[in-house]
Structure 1
């Protein structure tokens, strides 16, 4: 039994390692390359990866002699997918308090909460999601009943869970009273602007009197009121979306809206205001009065109006990788195929500020590349090769290890295992 446990530990350790130690030169040849960029779709194309980045993309590219060749003939090559609202790295088991680091619920601050300090790079959910073609995600705070939940992080699903600071997240929920929530939001933004102009006077005085938030939270929101950091605001009703549009104009905010099942009702206004949204493409039934207008046509109508949007399972951890299936569901209800792929690659990259390095298969971009054995939006398709920042990772996760462990049991193992 001891020998079996030691072997299991070794297997787990090896499974977390990439296919190759460090970046290498790789040529992915012969596939249908969907660049999601200016080059469009390249039939029988080649993607040349070197030093973690894409060196060349196109047809008839000369492959270096030292390159490892991946034959993608008959396959589809796309950027690794991105889920725009997850708890990856922040939650292991949702019902156990000690494995969740996504909430500042019991802390004396909220907006100042930064999820980066609670990220766990050893979580099994990195490999579980990466094995299904997900290479980027937004780790978002949540679980707080306060207006501001804290700062999120844009994470790369590689060994080490590379993270950069993301937007401040807020939830329009004040005891179910939207009017109170919008008033509170405006009061806080006005107080933050005043505090930013007179910080020294405030700190020299009694400090905290008169403010609805702590000074720590006020400091965290200064870049937001200056338009230097994005504010991600979760809401539902069309009426509240209109309030958000007015708020952006009034305070000159860099705003992104989350959830918004009724966004289709005000799609033209969102497009005119240039406010991007992150939607749940599965939302088709109202679960409360604020989402009566939920429809599976939301994505299609947003696309028609010219709204930039991303598709994501809101707050997902264990199933965040299903973004391609949710995008496919949107296609079944009117969204264009190209629009669906954009919603899980280049669009979230633009929304969350990483489009200069991720989201398209173009020269100079970080090599997040996935080779699929079929249509990547089809539920029966699977990724065959997964590259994150130029390093290939085996399609191994805790799920596959458990499968392999119990499919063929050692006859000498204790009876309980049989």
Structure 2
């Protein structure tokens, strides 16, 4: 049992912070309020004069799939031999003992949505995990939360000598497999219990059934405006749920994206323009989109930006004009909504996981120190165990 006493609560739901206590039991927040009774035997953390936040959440990254400090041996975020690989599952590539996890947890990043990279038109499914643990199965918040797809330069560059040399090819390949998956799903459903009428098992097409049923979204990597619109066009054609990832040129098409009302994950912005489609990168993007009413998450795309710098990225967006509360939501409740896990994480509310970060100042500022981090109500240790 954990009792955080007399801290300034930033719950990521209400714009104004308030002084209160937090009681957590069995990994969940049980109560938040003033002058709560301290149960016998509770671990008491005196937060007087300190700031209390929900654990920070990453909506899009590859931590644990790209080994820290190693090369090819640790690169498990792309299947490089197959441009269409929806059957890949991010959970199967995560290395929980990777050195990047304790760094993330110590900085207050307590939950991450991780999965395949963007070399392929279809890369596989993302999973959401806590940043503390030794076995990935025990770290999972929810598995198979989205299906990664990619537009733009990456599939063209990786497969230019094989199967993809234009943006039209990328779109056509995605449409083709979606058509096949829809036909496969309909045949399965029409066959009912008659095994003789069922189509031959196809693991790729099976993996796309949750997408076609709108159980999970396409998680669409797209930087350039034209690629964002192509992703939205295909989602409409097949009546799919979709989230847009990176959205580098989002500030150029704010009004159009606001009309679409789909979740947006913006970043990584703390990098150079390493390719043509990043030439319009700007820290103003998340703030302009949020001000227009879009649901915005700020992302590191770790390890492109080290995972522990997620709060710093929010601070740089504030420096560029983003409302501070919108920036807080962009690394807490919005990425939780983006990944479909807002019932568990992303805000300080009774019933949610007791992922709590206590600091001596605003986490957006480099001078701020993280004093305590709790994941599922347990203090993390330097090796990221609980």
TM-score (norm 1): 0.81
Contact 2:273 2:281 in 1 (8 A): yes
Mean alpha-carbon deviation: is it higher for 215-224 or for 155-164?
A: 155-164
SS at match of 1:219: helix
Q: Shift in Å at residue 252 of structure 1? A: 1.5
Q: Corresponding residue for 1:193?
A: 182
1:244 maps onto 2:231 in alignment: yes
Q: 1:285 to 1:393 in 2, by over 3 A?
A: closer
Q: Corresponding residue for 1:363?
A: 350
Q: Corresponding residue for 1:171?
A: 150
Contact 2:263 2:296 in 1 (8 A): yes
Using the alignment, how far apart are the partners of 1:383 and 1:286 within structure 2? 31
Q: Shift in Å at residue 131 of structure 1? A: 1.1
TM-score (norm 2): 0.87
Alignment of 1:17-56 (within 5 A): 25-38=1-14, 40-56=15-31
Contact 1:349 1:355 in 2 (8 A): yes
Contact 1:169 1:233 in 2 (8 A): yes
Q: Shift in Å at residue 204 of structure 1? A: 6.9
Q: Corresponding residue for 2:327?
A: 340
**Equivalent in 37, 41, 62 of residue 66 of structure 1:** 41
**Equivalent in 130, 138, 145 of residue 156 of structure 1:** 130
Contact 1:276 1:307 in 2 (8 A): yes
**Equivalent in 103, 124, 133 of residue 78 of structure 2:** 103
Q: Deviations over 1:290-330 (max 9, x none)?
A: 33432221011101111111111124278112110000000
Q: Corresponding residue for 2:283?
A: 296
- Bigger radius of gyration: 1
SS at match of 1:198: helix
**Equivalent in 244, 249, 266 of residue 279 of structure 1:** 266
Q: 1:397 to 1:66 in 2, by over 3 A?
A: closer
Structure 2 residue runs of 5 or longer lacking an equivalent are none
Using the alignment, how far apart are the partners of 1:335 and 1:138 within structure 2? 23
Contact 1:81 1:134 in 2 (8 A): yes
Q: Shift in Å at residue 269 of structure 1? A: 2.4
Q: Corresponding residue for 1:18?
A: none
Alpha carbon RMSD of aligned pairs, Å?
A: 2.5
Q: Shift in Å at residue 95 of structure 1? A: 4.5
Using the alignment, how far apart are the partners of 1:139 and 1:310 within structure 2? 14
Using the alignment, how far apart are the partners of 1:218 and 1:360 within structure 2? 36
Q: Corresponding residue for 2:308?
A: 321
Q: Shift in Å at residue 284 of structure 1? A: 7.9
Q: Which runs of 4+ in 1 moved over 6 A?
A: none
SS at match of 2:361: coil
Paired residues, what number?
365
Contact 2:89 2:125 in 1 (8 A): yes
Contact 1:32 1:41 in 2 (8 A): no
